[in-house]
Amino acid sequence: MEELEHTCPHPRTVGHLSTLTEPAIFARETSCDCRAPHEKLTIAQARRGTPVDRPVRVYADGIFDLFHSGHARALMQAKNLFPNTYLIVGVCSDELTHKYKGFTVMTELERYEALRHCRYVDEVLRDAPWTLTPEFLETHKIDFVAHDDIPYSSAGSEDVYKHIKEAGMFVPTQRTEGISTSDIITRIVRDYDVYARRNLQRGYTAKELNVSYINEKKYRLQNQVDRMKEKVRTVEEKSKHFVYRVEEKSHDLIQKWEEKSREFIGNFLELFGPDGTWKQVFQERSGRMLSYALSPRESPCSSPPHELSPVRSPSPPSPIARWHAARPSPPASPKGATASISSMSEGDEDEK
């Protein structure tokens, strides 16, 4: 399929690049404008290729409610069945769909528009029939019908495509597992409360959502609780981030403090250690001071002589000075003192 997709250009892009911005056309009574006779083709002939003005007209029909990737992949397969394919997509109306299958989420107009903007679709046929008749196939010059080959029982028939298969006009496509309109609706119904609360929070009224007064208050309370939980969660995350930053900063500060401490200790030991700079300076200064003490400097020989002060006339001595001058000086030793005493006694005796 991928090779065919690359080798076969989209019909709307050949010669008209600007039409890429335009949606697919709506079908008229018949949209087959080719000049060549519209002869019946076999699958082998269609795969070999057809003239440029005679593309293979492939028809794919469906409801296409809540258009999703499974629909798009089925149409992609139908578009790439043959080298030159013109894909017509039939969309059933609301009336037929509600009658044979059930209610839809999207209206028929919304479903028509969804198909028009799919890149693989060349033409959209509105109000498509539920069962394909030979007259319908002839009117729209349909060569082949594309659908998954699972029997589709509806409208009192075990397989509405049974006669198409017997005519050799049926080409099967593969379903995409895990995605379908029913699956999407099941998700919404299963999580109804979640989506009801979501839409209430987005501004829809309880009346628009068909929600009772009690449920509305319950949903709004749950929304407030969820918002509070979110705030608490946010605060916790911010707190964790703050604690992490504090721990990171603390680790950096401790690391820097250790580096500075090692640097300070190294500088201290270098200055005041056993072989530090301070010891060497102290020893040098001590040596200089000791040498200065042992060999002091001599006074300079060329110092100028002191000028003599003018001689003053002697003043007469005072009585106290005269008494001190007349007083004998003390002996220098005990023997001298004894001798002086004995001489004094001898002098006394002479006087006697």
Instruction: Report whether 34 contacts 54 (CB < 8 A).
Output: yes
Distances (CA, A) of 35 to 53, 54, 82, 158: 7, 8, 20, 39
Instruction: Report whether 4 contacts 104 (CB < 8 A).
Output: no
9: Cα separation from own chain's centroid: 41
Residue entry with tokens 């998700």: 187
Instruction: Report whether 146 contacts 60 (CB < 8 A).
Output: yes
pTM across the whole model:
0.59
CB crowding 84-109: b at 16 or more within 10 Å, else e: bbbbbbbbbbbebbeeeeeebebebe
First and final CA of the chain: distance in angstroms? 174
Here the tokens at position 213 are 């007064």
- What HEC string does 217-263 produce? HHHHHHHHHHHHHHHHHHHHHHHHHHHHHHHHHHHHHHHHHHHHHHH
40: Cα separation from own chain's centroid: 60
- Mean pLDDT check: name the lowest of 182-186, 259-263, 277-281: 277-281
Here the tokens at position 136 are 């319908």
Between residues 98 and 322, the one the model is more confident about: 98
Write down the H helix ranges in the chain.
2-7, 43-48, 69-79, 94-100, 108-116, 134-139, 162-166, 181-190, 192-201, 213-272, 277-294, 319-326, 334-351
How far apart are the C-alpha atoms of 226 and 204, rounded to whole Å?
18
Residue range 26-84, pLDDT digits in tens: 887 555 655 555 678 888 888 888 776 789 999 999 999 999 999 999 999 999 999 99
How far apart are the C-alpha atoms of 96 and 298, rounded to whole Å?
137
pLDDT of residue 34: 55
Average pLDDT, rounded, for the chain? 79
Phi, psi for 147 (deg, rounded to 5)? -165, 160
Between residues 329 and 294, the one the model is more confident about: 294
Q: Is 341 exposed, middle or buried (0-12, 13-18, 19+ CB in 10 A)?
A: exposed
CB crowding 324-337: b at 16 or more within 10 Å, else e: eeeeeeeeeeeeee
> C-alpha angle with apex 310: 308 to 315, nearest 5 degrees?
125
**Mean pLDDT across the stretch 234-244?**
83
Instruction: Report whether 29 contacts 126 (CB < 8 A).
Output: no
Residue range 152-194, pLDDT digits in tens: 888 678 899 999 999 999 999 999 999 999 999 999 999 999 9
Contacting residues for 280 by C-beta, under 8 A, at least 6 apart: none
Percent of the chain with pLDDT over 90: 38
Any long-range contacts for 180-189 (C-beta under 8 Å, 24+ apart)? 180/68, 180/70, 181/63, 181/65, 181/66, 181/68, 181/105, 184/66, 184/68, 185/66, 185/105
What domains can you pick out in the chain, each with its CATH number? 25-173 (3.40.50.620), 181-275 (no CATH)
How far apart are the C-alpha atoms of 11 and 55, rounded to whole Å?
9
How far apart are the C-alpha atoms of 200 and 74, rounded to whole Å?
36
Between residues 188 and 11, the one the model is more confident about: 188
Instruction: Report whether 149 contacts 39 (CB < 8 A).
Output: no
Confidence of residue 110 (pLDDT cuts 50, 70, 90): very high
Instruction: Report whether 240 contacts 247 (CB < 8 A).
Output: no
pLDDT of residue 124: 97
Contacting residues for 220 by C-beta, under 8 A, at least 6 apart: 200
